Amino acid sequence: MKYFKELGLLIFLLTFIGSVSVYAEEPEVVFAVCVFADGTLVDHKGADSMSDCLKTKRLVEKDWRNKQDTADTVEINGITYKINGEHLAFMCDLVDARVHHYADGTWEIIEILGKHKPEE
């Protein structure tokens, strides 16, 4: 019985360490639609290309323009933000980010580290 407890603890620790390793991956260069509220990054969404990024940006900007006069919230990526007279700015850019890749080939940005600066 003692060994089953230790085996269970070992499996738990390996699972925990495996899930944490997502954040330890090397940064990647990806396109992202970045949403800023009064100069502060409030959300982001990854895109496969600059074309995809610009299409997503146009859709989100259009939705925001259509409701900004009548609403004080905006939903982006399933998260509702309360906007109190803040100005939202949407920008497509190439960024350095930590990215999580799923088994089905999709991916998502975990954390944006900054705007990508090409090496000279």
Domain count, the chain: 1
Domain for residue 13, yes or no?
Answer: no
- Per-range mean pLDDT, top range of 31-45, 56-70, 73-87, 96-110: 96-110
Tens digits of residue pLDDT in 54-76: 998 888 788 777 776 676 676 76
- Interval 26-52 mean pLDDT: 89
Instruction: Supply the pTM of this predicted model.
Output: 0.64
Domain for residue 90, yes or no?
Answer: yes
CB 78 within 8 A of CB 5: no
Domain for residue 20, yes or no?
Answer: no
CA distances from 92 to 2, 24, 25, 51, 65 (A): 55, 25, 23, 10, 18
Domain for residue 9, yes or no?
Answer: no
- Interval 50-54 mean pLDDT: 93
